[in-house]
C-alpha cells in the first residue's frame, strides 16, 4: 500500500493507474464514470432476507446484540460534535476537499430561496435611478438578517438529525461496514460509504418497509 504524507494512494480499477490520492476524481475526469457506480459494482449487496447475513441480528429493539458501537451511549449527551465514523480517516479527506461545503449544502439553498425577492428589490431600486452594484449591495444587506435566520434554522436541523442518528443501529451498522472497507480494502472515505450503502441496502429497505406509503385513494370507476 503506497502512502504519501499519511494519505493512502489507490490503484484505478479501470486503467490500473497507481499512486492515486483521489480515486473518485480520477474516475470522473479521466474515465467519465460515476465513482458510485464503480464502487457499487465492487460491493456485494446483502440479501433482503436478514437470515442470510451472519451479523444481521445486531438490529434489535433492545440493542443488546449490537456490537461495541453502543458502548458509548453514556457519552452522547456530552458530544456536541458531528457524527464521525472514523475521525482520523476523515481529517485528511476534509483538508483535501476543494469544494465549499458551506456553499454546496447550505448557502446555495438559501440564495435560491431568496433569489426572486432579491431580484425584485434590485429592480425596484434601479427604477429609482440607483446603479446596479449599489442596488445589489443595499438589497443584500436588507435581506442579510433574514438569510442569517434561515441559515441558523438549516444548521440546527442538521444538528438534530445528526444527534438522532448517533443512537440509530442501522446508521451505525452502515458506518461500521464503511470502516471495514477502508481498513481492510484500502478504500477512501467516499468509496467506503458507497460500498457500505450498497452492501447494506437491505437495511434501507427495512426502513422503507416500516412505513406505510401514502397511496392516494382510488375512486371506483363504476
Q: What is the mean pLDDT of residues 104-119?
A: 94
- Judged against a pLDDT cut of 90, whether residue 38 lies above it is answered with no
Domain ranges of the chain: 3-79+166-209
pLDDT at residue 50 in the model: 42
Highest-pLDDT range among 50-54, 70-74, 89-93, 188-192? 188-192
Q: How confident is the model at residue 134 (pLDDT cuts 50, 70, 90)?
A: very high
Q: What is the mean pLDDT of residues 38-64?
A: 46
SS3 labels along the chain: CCEECCEECECCCCCCCCCECCHHHHHHHCCCCCHHHHHHHHCCCCCCCHHHCCCHHHCCCCCCCCCHHHCCHHHHHHCCCCCCCCHHHHHHHHHHCCCCHHHHHHHHHHHHHHHHHHHHHHHHHHHCCCCHHHHHHHHHHHHHHHHHHHHHHHHHHHHHHHHHHCCCHHHHHHHHHHHHHHHHHCCCHHHHHHHHHHHCHHHHHHHHHCCCCCCCCCCCCC
Share of the chain above pLDDT 90, in %: 46
Which range among 53-62, 117-126, 147-156 shows the weakest confidence by mean pLDDT? 53-62
- Judged against a pLDDT cut of 90, whether residue 124 lies above it is answered with yes
pLDDT at residue 7 in the model: 54
pLDDT at residue 98 in the model: 47
What is the tens place of the pLDDT at every residue in 58-101?
333 333 333 433 444 444 444 444 555 554 455 555 544 545 88
Q: What global pTM score does this model have?
A: 0.53
Highest-pLDDT range among 2-6, 50-54, 83-87, 200-204? 200-204
- Judged against a pLDDT cut of 50, whether residue 105 lies above it is answered with yes
The chain-wide mean pLDDT, for the chain, equals 75
**88 against 178, higher pLDDT:** 178
Amino acid at each position: 500500500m503506497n502512502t504519501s504524507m499519511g494519505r493512502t494512494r489507490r490503484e484505478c480499477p479501470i486503467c490500473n493507474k497507481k499512486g492515486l490520492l483521489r480515486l473518485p476524481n480520477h474516475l470522473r475526469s479521466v474515465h467519465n464514470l460515476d465513482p458510485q457506480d464503480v464502487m457499487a459494482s465492487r460491493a456485494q449487496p446483502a440479501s433482503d432476507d436478514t437470515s442470510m447475513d451472519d451479523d444481521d441480528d445486531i438490529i434489535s429493539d433492545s440493542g443488546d446484540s449490537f456490537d461495541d458501537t453502543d458502548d458509548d451511549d453514556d457519552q452522547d449527551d456530552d458530544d456536541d460534535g458531528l457524527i464521525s465514523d472514523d475521525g482520523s480517516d476523515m481529517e485528511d479527506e476534509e483538508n483535501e476537499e476543494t469544494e465549499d461545503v458551506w456553499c454546496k449544502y447550505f448557502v446555495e439553498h438559501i440564495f435560491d430561496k431568496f433569489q426572486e425577492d432579491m431580484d425584485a428589490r434590485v429592480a425596484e431600486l434601479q427604477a429609482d435611478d440607483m446603479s446596479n452594484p449599489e442596488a445589489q449591495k443595499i438589497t443584500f444587506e436588507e435581506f442579510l438578517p433574514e438569510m442569517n435566520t434561515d441559515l441558523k434554522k438549516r444548521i440546527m436541523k442538521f444538528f438534530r438529525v445528526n444527534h438522532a442518528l448517533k443512537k440509530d443501529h442501522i446508521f451505525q451498522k452502515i458506518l461500521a461496514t464503511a470502516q471495514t472497507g477502508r481498513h481492510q480494502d484500502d478504500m477512501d472515505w467516499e468509496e467506503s460509504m458507497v460500498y457500505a450503502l450498497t452492501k447494506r441496502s437491505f437495511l434501507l429497505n427495512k426502513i422503507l418497509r416500516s412505513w406505510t406509503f401514502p397511496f392516494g385513494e382510488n375512486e371506483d370507476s363504476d
